[in-house]
Chain A
Amino acid sequence: MEMLNAVFVAPFVDMFTYPAFFVEVLLGGLTAGVMYSLVALGFVLIFKASGVFNFAQGVLALFAALTLVGLMTGTIPFSQNSMSALALPIWLAVIATGGVMVGLAYAIERVVLRPLVNQEEIIMFMSTIGLAFVLEGVGDMMWGSDVKALDVGIPSGSFEVNGVLVQVFDLWAAGIAAVMVAFLAVFFQKTKIGRALRAVADDHQAALSVGIPLKTIWVAVWSVAGLVALVAGIMWGSKSGVQFSLSLIALKALPVLILGGFTSIPGAIIGGLIIGVGEKVAEVYWGPLVNGAIENWFAYVLALLFLMFRPQGLFGEKIIERI
């Protein structure tokens, strides 16, 4: 009886007794969710256009952030020494890093994807893990493994509204995510290359037959995913410093991915918000019953529950099976 009360009654009573705190938990969940979505978006882009479940997305974010910091501090690759004369201003460093990511996308298409065209999904998946190892080794060699402070000028600090603490950084993160999604929407709907991307996503063969160059498309989509990784790397890196652990944020994006669906950009956003709120509420209100730290698996279980009703995720394309 006491246990039932602790599980089913007390947490809700708590929520209603201290509404300001509850709002803060919700807010915290939403903002954490936005951060997850930033990572999940990169997965979705690549899966949509090439059917590849790109496990290297987290490492791409790390690599982008490392390159950005390296350029901003004027670090000479492979030497671990920096010369302040070479340090680039932020805007230039961001553009240059974008360039590096496009170059990387080209290299990946050439070296990893092209030899593996038409392989089974799981083979492609494993090869992206191989890619993750390569990028990890090369990134470490180029830029060293110290924790690097990254400050691109996003303000930190916080203010209170009716007893609810709001963090400025989180608002920025939400704003940047919104801008990015708007940009992606325009890119997909209005540009020529975006339309080609959608065609490829629908049907590789048909797209090829109407003269859409598959290779260019793949380079394009990996470039865009690289840029998304750069944004994710900047946001996560500003919070924790740029270091190897940044690559592990990929694990946070996976439940978002299955909940929202592998192929849906709105799914990545909504999925992120649901996961963020779900895990924070669970951790804060139910976690203490079992000594806490439940959010990692809870995110997956939450996603699993949604999947039981919609096996293709909330917004994924319906899986139609025929004999």
Chain B
Amino acid sequence: MLYRETGQFKTSYSADQAIFPIFQDRMFILGWLIVAFIAVPLMASEYWFQIILIPFLVFSLATLGLNILVGYCGQISLGTGGFMAVGAFSAYKLATNVPELNIIFVILISGLITALVGILFGLPSLRIKGFYLAVATLAAQFFLIWMFNKFGWFVNYSPSGSIAIPPMEIFGVMVTSAKADPVARYYLALGFTVVLALLAKNLVRGPTGRAWMAIRDMDIAAEIIGIKPLATKLKAFAVSSFFIGVAGALYFSAWSGTAESDAFDINLSFNILFMVIIGGLGSVVGSFMGAAFIVLLPIFLTNLFVGELGFSALTAKHLEITIFGALIIFFLAVEPHGLARMWQVTKEKLRIWPFPH
């Protein structure tokens, strides 16, 4: 009843080709956008912005990027942390060396640079598959982090190798560095995330996305029906790295404000892969759900154990690690297709509600 697409007739091609062809979906997205753009900034505290909302947006974007590669194109990558570092360090170099450049372009160019690096490290995917490729992408991870750590040029020769974003403005409003209002930094992250998410949604339903999925399902078969594996895979690496690079630039400029290469270590790569899998492989909305889950769960557990139950910080941490691991196993066992699949089931239920069948 609530979610019924019958009776919604398309009378024009443009209506048929809309990103969200179903009325309820449009309303749903619109509702979320209103919440995100208007309600949240009115209600959230600084703690919420800094600890939950901004990291959630940044990680959603990175998850979306990785999901394009893993979920849509079927190429497992463990180099996400390294690519995010490329985004962050590019943003730093651009912001400090070309101070007149607007922060929006800084972030976009950082994404493009990351895309180039992604193409470079995507080349072996033509020959190497599956877990061999996954481990091979670790070469990118370790090499990139080593490079940023080693060469002073990337950090403007700061002796500690740590970078800090200078204060930057959009239309006179300061949006980066600790001096900026958290709301402004939130809007910066939100703007990029929303635009890129719509872009991704659009991309995966078109010819590009279909080619990716064909490669994912069986690359030899895809090749036989005329899909070029090289171009398609590299396109996936490029788009995915662009998203991840933008996420890295936002991580640095909108969220943390300072960073060192160690912040983008292999644990970050694993964490984002977790978000992809928990959210659901090959789902845009799942990327958001997965990011929300992995960002919120540890904070929730810590607050529960320390705040509510009064455990010591140590016991709480031990329990948190253990329960986090156990929940992941539990989730994968119960719903291996992730939160996105559960959302789909819910939609099915809403379609026939209130009748059981």
Contact = CB atoms under 8 A, between A and B. Distances in A.
Direct contact of A and B (CB under 8 A): yes
Contacts of A121: 130-131
B127 interface: yes
A133 B328 contact: yes
A133 B318 CA distance: 10
B31 interface: no
B183 to A, nearest CB: 34
Given A130-B332, A137-B318, A304-B124, A125 B131 contact: yes
Interface residues of B, number: 44
Interface string B208-225: 000000000010110010
A138 B273 CA distance: 24
B277 interface: yes
B329 A127 contact: yes
Contacts, number: 131
Contacts of B11: none
B136 interface: yes
A95 B326 CA distance: 28
A323 B224 CA distance: 10
Given A119-B332, A126-B332, A300 B131 contact: no
Q: Main SS of chain A's interface residues?
A: helix
B293 interface: no
Interface stretch (B55-63, B137-145, B172-180): B137-145
A255 B329 contact: no
B321 A300 contact: no
B325 A130 contact: yes
Given A291-B150, A293-B150, A307-B127, A111 B329 contact: yes
How many chain A residues sit at the interface, stated as a range, is: 35 or more
A297 to B, nearest CB: 4
A137 B323 CA distance: 9
Contacts of A116: 332-333, 336
A44 to B, nearest CB: 12
A134 interface: yes
B305 interface: no
A151 interface: no
Interface in A277-323: 290-291, 293-294, 296-297, 300-301, 303-304, 307-308, 311-313, 319, 321-323
Interface string B116-147: 00000000100111111001101100110010
Contacts of A296: 142, 146
A141 B127 CA distance: 44
Contacts of A53: 131
A115 B331 CA distance: 11
Contacts of A125: 131
A123 B336 contact: yes
A131 interface: yes
B324 interface: yes
Contact of B322 (A137, A291, A311): A137
A126 B318 contact: no
Contact of A126 (B136, B143, B324, B328): B328
Contacts of A293: 146, 149-150
A109 interface: no
Interface of B: 70, 76, 124, 127-132, 135-136, 138-139, 142-143, 146, 149-150, 218, 220-221, 224, 266, 270, 273-274, 277, 281, 315, 318-329, 332-333, 336
10 contacts: A116-B336, A130-B332, A133-B326, A134-B321, A137-B321, A137-B325, A290-B150, A297-B139, A307-B128, A313-B132
Which 3 pairs across A and B sit closest by C-beta, in order of nearness? A133-B325, A137-B322, A130-B328
